[in-house]
Structure 1
Amino acid sequence: MKKFLFRLFCLTLLISCTSQKNSEEFINATKGRYLFNANEVIEIYFKEQNLYAKWRGNDDIKLLKVSDSTFYMKELNEKIIFISKPKMHIQLAEKTEHEGVKYHFRKMKYGEKTANEYFDLKEFSKALTAFKAIQKKDSLNPIIRENKINRLGYNFVKKNNYETAIEVFKINVALYPKSSNVYDSLGEAFLLKKDTVNAKINFKKALTINPENKSAKRLLKKVTKK
């Protein structure tokens, strides 16, 4: 406890002795959006040469300047370091809690968006490309779990928004083409939209993968009777 308080005192003293104003060169190089994780962003911006961040719905998070390139972010309880080479990125300062792991957040290209942002804009093909990039890098990433995306699709079904539900289920099919369940869900959305042709196609595909898929069997029988 004493060691922590001493470190906090030293950090506070260092911050108080450092000018919070930043140079125009630093501002131009660092302002922008940084990929915090596979589908989440920290936005860095400046007001009156002071550095602020937007993160997880919180605006105007003021970062306390420790040195010309290092800032303390209370919301993260981390010191973040801006590093310009080889490309501008943010690195968390090393500390015991990291257990030797280094954290880097790359600066996003102008106009680049996360998978969820593309999805919210209804740019579904771009969302799929972004989701596939996440899957390629980390196939176990919770953001792209099959059941999570399926639940999202059914949330739109409950709202009678079948068009969007279909787009969600199409993304799941593209990510998990060997899953019977994703075709069953897509078929159900088509059926609710009264598109029996595509409903049949997807129920049959679901049963080709898993002949014991009870939901696909039941719904295919229902749609065939019509």
Structure 2
Amino acid sequence: MKRFFYLFVTLLVMSCTGSKNAPDFIKNTEGRYFFNSDETLEIYFEEKELKVKWRGKDMTPIKVNDSSFYLKEMNEKLVFVSKPKMHIELAPKREHDGEKFVFDKLLKGQKTPSEYLANKEYNKALLGYLAIKKKDSLDRTIRERALNDLGYSKLRDNKFEEAIEIFKINVALYPHKSNPYDSLGEGYWEMKDTANAVASYKKALSINPENRSARRFLRRHKFE
């Protein structure tokens, strides 16, 4: 009986301490990782136990070994890889259909494009969006319509300067499309910046002579 008691205690201690992580591992892995091009998951530790924050949810994965953790909420095993630089990989499984999933770690102070945008760091936001477009021009984060809708939401809230900056980003991403210039023209007009409004509407019309919104504006205000 005593033997089973000691065995039970040993297993209990192992279960309580097995989730702890080494200081070097904690130092190297804690931080934020790109879950996709504009979304992150955060790795942090409480009493040396690894935690994951994702989409506003705090989760505690099960430690598999010193570098692998099973996260039941995703039904995925996260594997921490330190070379060539720290990143997370999802362990291969049949549902991945052979695709490899890698989450790169953000540099200290680095933000996602939408976070830069929310922080009114527009140049950094643009650089982030351009990097996404270079990597994948079909990435939904940089959809022309989504950014356009965001800009108009700012216009409706009378946040004209923010709207204009968003429209300018859309123009930079889609310089050969008419609608971003049309929206930018409306933003400038709301700001009572007539010169830039007219220039933007004329640019929209030069790209697409069938742009009714731009033509209607220019005719109504006698700028044609």
Output the TM-score relative to the length of structure 2.
Answer: 0.90
Give the drift of 1:221: 2.2
Task: Read off the aligned partner of 1:56 and give its amino acid letter.
Answer: R
In the alignment, is residue 170 of structure 1 matched against residue 168 of structure 2?
Answer: yes
What does residue 25 of structure 2 align with?
Answer: 26
Match in the other structure for 1:112: 110
**Map of 1:49 onto structure 2:** 48
- Offset from partner CA, 1:65-116 (integer Å, 9 cap, x none): 1111100112211010001111111010111111111111111111111100
Whole-angstrom CA distance in 1 between matches of 2:222 and 2:29: 59
Aligned residues: 210
Out of 118, 125, 128, the position equivalent to 2:126 is 128
User: Residue 75 of structure 1 corresponds to which residue in structure 2?
Assistant: 73
Deviations, residues 11-63 of structure 1 (Å, cap 9, x unaligned): xxxx95980010111101111111111001111010100001111112x3112
Is 1:196–1:223's contact at 8 Å kept on the other side of the alignment?
Answer: no
The SS at the match of 2:215 is helix
Report the alpha carbon displacement of residue 222 of structure 1 after superposing the two structures with TM. 2.9
Equivalent residue, structure 2, for 1:5: none
What is the CA RMSD across the aligned residues, in angstroms?
Answer: 1.5
> What is the DSSP-based 3-state SS (H/G/I as helix, E as strand, rest coil) of the residue aligned with 2:114?
helix
TM-score for the superposition, normalised by structure 1? 0.89
Structure 2 gap ranges (5+): 1-13
For residues 128 and 102 of structure 2, the distance between their equivalents in structure 1, rounded to whole angstroms, comes to: 19
Q: 1:223 to 1:161 in 2, by over 3 A?
A: farther
CA contact (8 A) 1:18 1:65 kept: no
**Secondary structure of the structure 2 residue equivalent to 1:45:** strand
CA shift for structure 1 position 195:
1.1
Structure 1, residues 148-189: CA drift from partner, whole Å, max 9, x if none? 111111111111111111011000000000111111110011
Which structure has the greater CA radius of gyration? 2
Amino acid at match of 2:18: S
What's the counterpart of residue 157 of structure 2? Answer: 159
Q: Contact 1:188/1:219 (CA < 8 Å) preserved in 2?
A: no
Q: Which residue of 1 aligns with 2:5?
A: none
Residue number among 134, 141, 144 corresponding to 2:142 in the alignment: 144
Quote the Cα distance in structure 2 between the aligned partners of 1:23 and 1:53.
17
Paired with 1:224 and 1:29, the residues of 2 have a C-alpha distance of 63
Structure 2 CA distance for aligned equivalents of residues 223 and 202 of structure 1:
14
Unaligned runs of 5+ residues in structure 1 are 1-14
Q: Aligned to 1:204, which of 202, 205, 208?
A: 202
SS at structure 2 position matched to 1:20? coil
Tell me how far apart the structure 2 counterparts of residues 189 and 88 of structure 1 sit (CA, whole Å).
Answer: 42
Q: In 2, are the aligned partners of 1:35 and 1:41 still within 8 Å (CA)?
A: yes
